[in-house]
């Protein structure tokens, strides 16, 4: 495996792998996106700060000679631990690359980074077309009702679409678009119209709420924009709560393979107070979700 961290590739797919049970799905979905768009894939594994060597003095108030010997042993253990963590990270990247190679992806780069994953994404997303991440991280089996600790941070901070991979890959041929007329929803429709990812895919744009003149006009505009891009989309207005209605539509009524929606608004405080439809949708839906800001 050859690391090429400094290579700049336009419109690459950035796939974040952490060695969790979702990592294989991240690779499978990244390969699918690459196959439909022709974009190269960059695999990224971040060694968080908690995995860095421990620099604290744990020797305590013991005799100087013994203390010096203990400090030397601790330093040696820290060095070995750091080396093992780095080896594990490279092994995760090698396994991920093998999955992509098997799927037919030939243009792959890898990046092993130390530090905060949010800082890493901020540095590398400029030339990314999409960021692919698993719904949950390394503790997925112990946190079935929660999202991955880094997912929400990345979605809120990233300026590029974020593709949230479900636990296992399934063929994707039918996409549901949640449309509320807001700026991020309009950007989601624009993203679909511009991306080769959606060519030939069945697309259904849905608004949940009252059938007001504004809602009807918004759907008509969205449908016209997609039609101009060669995508014949269906539209509908449904009643109910967005997260409940859309999840039922995805999994029971129409069995969509993917959900596309606008991401969080600008006020994190407001989201924390009244709850977030975006978070609820990600948590509830068992299909991949593309979030656009």
CATH number at residue 253: 3.40.50.620
In a domain, 214, yes or no: yes
Please identify which residue in the block is written with the tokens 């090698």: 94
Please name the helix (run of DSSP H) or strand (run of DSSP E) that holds residue 188, with its range, or none: helix 183-194
Q: What is the pLDDT of residues 43-95, one digit of tens each?
A: 999 997 555 444 455 445 555 566 777 788 888 888 888 889 999 999 999 99
pLDDT at 129 over 70: yes
In a domain, 20, yes or no: yes
In a domain, 79, yes or no: no
If asked whether residues 151 and 188 sit together in one domain, one would say: no
If asked whether residues 41 and 100 sit together in one domain, one would say: yes
CA dist 36 and 173 (Å) reads 12
Average pLDDT of the chain, as a whole number: 83
In a domain, 72, yes or no: no
If asked whether residues 40 and 111 sit together in one domain, one would say: yes
If asked whether residues 193 and 255 sit together in one domain, one would say: yes
Q: What is the pTM of this model?
A: 0.83
If asked whether residues 187 and 161 sit together in one domain, one would say: no
The pLDDT value recorded for residue 77 is 86
CA dist 238 and 249 (Å) reads 10
If asked whether residues 204 and 243 sit together in one domain, one would say: yes
Q: Which residue has the higher pLDDT, 185 or 61?
A: 185
If asked whether residues 181 and 161 sit together in one domain, one would say: no
Q: How many domains does the chain have?
A: 2
If asked whether residues 150 and 181 sit together in one domain, one would say: no
Mean local confidence (pLDDT), 249-272: 70
If asked whether residues 24 and 112 sit together in one domain, one would say: yes
Last residue of a domain, one of 117, 137, 165: 165
In a domain, 293, yes or no: no
Q: How many CB atoms lie within 10 A of CB 1?
A: 13
In a domain, 74, yes or no: no
Q: Print the domain residue range for 240.
A: 174-287
Lowest mean pLDDT among 39-53, 97-111, 155-169, 213-227: 39-53
If asked whether residues 191 and 152 sit together in one domain, one would say: no
In a domain, 66, yes or no: no
If asked whether residues 216 and 148 sit together in one domain, one would say: no
The pLDDT value recorded for residue 50 is 53
Last residue of a domain, one of 121, 137, 165: 165
The pLDDT value recorded for residue 276 is 63
Q: Which residue has the higher pLDDT, 138 or 200?
A: 200
Q: Which among 151, 157, 212, 158 is positioned nearest to 180, based on CA atoms?
A: 212
Last residue of a domain, one of 134, 165, 196: 165
CA 1 to chain centre: 24
CA 79 to chain centre: 32
If asked whether residues 21 and 100 sit together in one domain, one would say: yes
The CA-CA-CA angle for residues 257, 262, 265, to 5°, reads 150
pLDDT at 142 over 50: no
The pLDDT value recorded for residue 289 is 94
């Amino acid at each position: 495996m050859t690391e090429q961290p400094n290579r700049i590739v336009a419109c690459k797919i950035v796939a974040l792998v952490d060695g969790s049970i979702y990592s294989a799905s991240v690779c499978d979905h990244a390969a699918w996106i690459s196959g439909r768009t022709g974009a190269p894939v960059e695999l990224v594994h971040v060694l968080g700060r908690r995995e860095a060597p421990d620099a604290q003095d744990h020797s305590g108030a013991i005799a100087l000679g013994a203390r010096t010997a203990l400090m030397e042993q601790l330093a040696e253990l820290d060095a070995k631990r750091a080396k093992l963590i780095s080896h594990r990270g490279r092994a995760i990247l090698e396994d991920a690359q093998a999955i992509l190679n098997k799927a037919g992806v030939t243009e792959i780069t890898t990046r092993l980074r130390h530090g905060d994953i949010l800082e890493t994404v901020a540095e590398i997303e400029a030339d990314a077309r999409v960021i692919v991440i698993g719904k949950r991280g390394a503790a997925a089996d112990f946190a079935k009702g929660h999202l991955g600790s880094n997912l929400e941070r990345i979605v809120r901070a990233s300026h590029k679409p974020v593709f949230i991979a479900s636990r296992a890959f399934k063929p994707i041929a039918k996409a549901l678009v949640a449309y509320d007329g807001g700026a991020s929803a309009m950007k989601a429709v624009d993203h679909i119209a511009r991306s080769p990812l959606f060519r030939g895919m069945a697309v259904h744009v849905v608004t949940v709420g009252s059938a007001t003149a504004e809602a009807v006009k918004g759907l008509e505009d969205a449908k016209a924009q997609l039609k101009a891009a060669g995508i014949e989309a269906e539209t509908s207005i449904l009643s109910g709560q967005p997260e409940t209605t859309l999840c039922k539509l995805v999994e029971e009524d129409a069995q969509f393979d993917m959900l596309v929606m606008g991401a969080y608004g600008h006020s994190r405080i407001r989201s924390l107070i009244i709850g977030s439809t975006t978070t609820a949708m990600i948590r509830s839906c068992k299909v991949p979700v593309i979030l656009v800001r």
